[in-house]
Amino acid sequence: MPTMTDVARSAGVSVATVSHVLNGTRPVLPHTRQAVLDAMDELGYTPNTLARALVTSRTRSLGLAVSAISNPYFTEILQGVEAEALRHGYSLLIADPHDDPVHERKVAQLLHERRVDGVIVAPSPEPGDLLAYLDRHRVPTVLLDRVVGDAPRFDQVCAENVGPTGRLVSHLADLGHRRIGLVAGLPGLSTSDERIAGYRSGLTTAGLPYDEQLVAYGDSASSGAERATAALLALADPPTALVTANNAMTIGALRALRDHGLSVPGDLALCCFDDFAWADLFSPRLTAIAQPSKEIGAEAVRVLLARLAAPDEPARTVRLPCTFVHRSSCGCADTVLPPGKSGKSAKPGQSAKSGNPEEPQKGTVS
């Protein structure tokens, strides 16, 4: 079986250089790194991960805990995490905490006991026990997608929520809608709170009053959105337009509208937070806010690796920009908007000129 010494001899470098390439402990010139990798491939050298972990106290593995992995949004985040971890030579252990505070605490302990070098976790609405465990054991951690205001020790990576949601509301208002409903997410999640704040901001920008009757909680699930949409439709003065706050709730809202014999956008305009692969296959095609899901996952890995390299640096929160994807479910024609425009004013149900996706801005760090 070939050894590190054999690899070093074949590549014409020192054993220490081979070690730096394998462990990422020191920068190595690209051509030298490639020579080592080529030598490893030619000799069939396989690093002894267990032995290396005993020496370095690192397992070169990361833990990922996100709920609803079957959700296309989290599936794309997972793809981003896995690709970036692999690019840096890390394996990945994955668990689903089911948005259950008790279960997520157990998941964190399980990953910690597996000696992962750090964890990436999307916290539940009540993450107190989880954060206390991670803090007590000084586990390098990045909170993903959902921020926690009272978790100053933890790095956080998420998308912008307030401005993009406001953009959806403003767009519908520009089209003449004055009764705009919101199917909101699970109470207690920062994403739910921020998208409600964005909804209210969009109303204020459009000069429309906030009516709490027009906000119904779909609990971030398709079935919950069905009930929430039905409740909004049952109002004495129901909405003429609807914003759904995640992709699962968009499906539930569409199902409720179908069950009520209503068409989109003929009877009710629809915009949604979260684009997904088949959003442009619906009839009509869905106007949506697209989150940079894979980039969120990749950035979480980069932030975690930076934390491993500099454990005493101040924690930071990174927010990545979203993109406005303009299609026709809002009531616009399926053509192109001028940059910076959200559509000409029109009466509800009438079409207006449509538009280009909004150009994303650079991510922000706090």
Q: Which residues contact 197 (CB under 8 A, 6 or more apart)?
A: 161, 162, 165
| One domain for residues 84 and 179 | no
Do residues 278 and 251 make contact, with C-beta atoms less than 8 angstroms apart?
no
Query: Residue type for 238, please?
Result: P
Q: Which residue has the higher pLDDT, 276 or 63?
A: 63
Which range marks the domain in which residue 354 is found?
162-291+321-365
pLDDT tens string 204-263: 999 999 999 999 999 999 999 999 999 999 999 999 999 999 999 999 999 999 999 999
**R_g over Cα of the chain:** 24
Q: How many domains does the chain have?
A: 3
Residue 139 scores a pLDDT above 60: yes
| One domain for residues 142 and 260 | no
The pLDDT value recorded for residue 57 is 55
Residue 294 scores a pLDDT above 80: yes
pLDDT tens string 303-339: 999 999 999 999 999 999 999 999 999 999 865 444 4
Q: What is the mean pLDDT of the chain?
A: 87
| One domain for residues 151 and 171 | no
| One domain for residues 105 and 252 | no
CA distances from 292 to 73, 196, 262, 304, 341 (A): 9, 20, 31, 18, 22
* Separation between Cα atoms, residue 190 and residue 25, nearest integer Å: 36
Of 145, 140, 324, 151, the closest CA to residue 243 belongs to 324
| One domain for residues 245 and 102 | no
| One domain for residues 325 and 285 | yes
User: Which ranges in the chain belong to alpha helices (H)?
Assistant: 4-11, 15-23, 30-43, 49-56, 72-87, 101-113, 128-136, 162-174, 190-205, 222-233, 247-259, 293-309
pLDDT tens string 21-54: 877 778 889 999 899 989 988 888 776 554 554 4
Tokens 């074949």 appear where? 10
Partner residues linked to 270 by β-bridges? 242
Residue 356 counted as domain residue: yes
In DSSP notation, 124-170 reads -S--HHHHHHHHHTT--EEEESS--TT-TTSEEEEE--HHHHHHHHH
